[in-house]
Amino acid sequence: MVIALLSISGVMLDSCSPQKTETCAAEDSSQFVTLTDVVPDAILEIRYFGTYNFVGTRIDGYEAPTALLTREAADSLRAVSDDVMRQGYRLKIYDAYRPQKGVDHFVRWASNIGDTLMKRYFYPDLDKSVLFDQEYIYAHSGHSRGSTVDLTLFDMQTEKELDMGGTFDWFGPESHPDFCGNPETGTYTGDNSLSPVGRSITEEQFAHRMILRTAMLRHGFKALDSEWWHFTLRDEPFPDTYFTFPVRQLE
């Protein structure tokens, strides 16, 4: 849900292309695709279109329960899907492209310290006042550049989500890829010393996280060191543009 604080270009063009990232129109969705058109086996559970998320309401800018990505990111995710399908899994998508309006909604929510409706589900170990200082909430998100996705694995044999030992959008060190293990080697250590209340994950849960991570890295994505579910295309086509058009059905 996070990345850098960069400004959107004020120059507006009729169309956008990877070669014009410094001047492309933030309202232009022409280089984006509907994810399920490219990855038809993906399951969608767009959390910010519904109310089961850390805010507790639909997020601004989510006009349809769909997932959008740049064509390049979607093509790479298709390769990931084919990979994990051979292992008995499907991809389940929580979020993909996120308009700046949605990020602004998060910022307003985080500034309202009294709104703790979903605290027990997503940040029970934290005081809401630390969300900016501890970098859980930022004014800009890599999701708005169109090549970042939040996802998990769905086990086709059990017909359930694979147990990752923690929920999507959990605010805490338990969400870090290196929690209880070394993600570079895939080795489980059981070290839960960073958990403020002694939470832990099992060796099996850590291994499940590594299945997702390995497939994503193998097909051109890079991981975030604070969220096991978050990946960005390594060679994203619009590294300097934060798009503003809503999540909707593309024409």
- Among 233, 186, 181, smallest CA distance to 212 is for 186
DSSP 144-177: GGT-EEEEEEEETTTTEE---SS-TT--SGGGST
Q: Please report the sign of the dihedral spanned by the C-alpha atoms of residue 199, residue 203, residue 208, residue 212.
A: positive
Let me know how long the chain is.
Answer: 251
Neighbours of 5 (CB within 10 A): 7
Q: Answer for the pair 3, 141: CB distance below 8 angstroms, yes or no.
A: yes
Asked if residues 211 and 89 have their Cβ atoms less than 8 Å apart, the reply is yes
What CA–CA distances, in Å, run from 147 to 123, 200, 214, 229?
A: 26, 31, 18, 14
Q: Per the residue annotation, which of 159, 227, 236, 251 is the catalytic one? A: 227
Q: How far apart are CA 40 and CA 125, in angstroms?
A: 38
Known catalytic residue at 174: no
Which active-site residues does the annotation give?
A: 227
